Amino acid sequence: MPIAHIIGLGKSGIAAARLLKREGWEVTLSDRSSSPNLLAQQQELASEGIAVELGKSFEPDKSIELIVVSPGVPWDIPALKKARELGIETIGEMALAWRYLKSPWVGITGTNGKTTTTALIAAIFAEAGLYAPACGNIGYAACELALAEKQPDWVIAEISSYQIESSPSVAPRIGVWTTFTPDHLSRHKTLENYYNIKAHLLKNSQFQVINGDDPYLRQQGVDIWPDACWTSVKGKTELLGDTALGAYIDNGWVIAQNDKILPADTLRMVGEHNLQNLLMAVAAARLAGIDNSAIARAIANFPGVPHRLEHIRTWEGIDFINDSKATNYDAAQVGLASVSAPAILIAGGEAKEGDDRAWIETIKAKAAAVLLIGDAAGIFADRLEQANYNAWEIVETMERAVPRAAELGKQNNAKVVLLSPACASFDRYQNFEHRGDCFRELCLESLT
Query: Which pLDDT band holds residue 102 (cuts at 50, 70, 90)?
Result: very high
pLDDT at residue number 365? 96
**Which of 69, 92, 115 is the C-terminal boundary of a domain?**
92
Whether the predicted pLDDT of 356 surpasses 90: yes
The whole-angstrom separation of Cα 99 and Cα 134 is 18
167 lies in the same domain as 263: yes
pLDDT for 187 beyond 60: no
Residue 305 lies in a domain: no
Q: What single DSSP character describes residue 237? A: G
Order across the sheet with 134-136: list the strands. 134-136, 155-158, 105-109, 174-177, 207-211, 229-232, 247-250, 253-256, 259-263
pLDDT at 183 exceeding the cut of 80: no
61 and 105 housed in the same domain: no
Segments of 113-258 assigned E as strands? 134-136, 155-158, 174-177, 207-211, 229-232, 247-250, 253-256
The helix/strand count (H/E) of the chain reads as: 17, 20
* Residue 435 pLDDT exceeds 70: yes
Percent of the chain having pLDDT more than 90?
79
Domain that holds residue 53: 3-92
Same domain, 415 and 435: yes
Confidence class of residue 186 from pLDDT cuts 50, 70 and 90?
Answer: low
Instruction: Check which CATH number belongs to the domain holding 408 and give it.
Output: 3.90.190.20
The number of distinct structural domains making up the chain is: 3
Final residue belonging to a domain, choices 300, 319, 346 = 300
Same structural domain, 123 and 65 = no
pLDDT at 381 over 80: yes
The residues near 117 (Cβ < 8 Å, ≥ 6 apart) are: 108, 110, 176, 178, 277, 280, 281
- Assign 257 a pLDDT band (cuts: 50, 70, 90): very high
Residue 220's domain is classified under what CATH number?
A: 3.40.1190.10
In a domain, 88, yes or no: yes
Of 300, 319, 354, the domain-final residue: 300
Q: CB neighbours of 374 closer than 8 A, spacing ≥ 6?
A: 348, 349, 350, 396, 421, 423, 427, 428
pLDDT digits (tens, 9 = 90+) for 112-164: 889 999 999 999 999 999 999 999 988 899 999 999 999 999 999 999 988 99
Q: Per-residue pLDDT for 367 more than 60? A: yes
Residue 29 lies in a domain: yes
Q: Are residues 14 and 133 in the same domain?
A: no
Both 150 and 237 in one domain: the answer is: yes
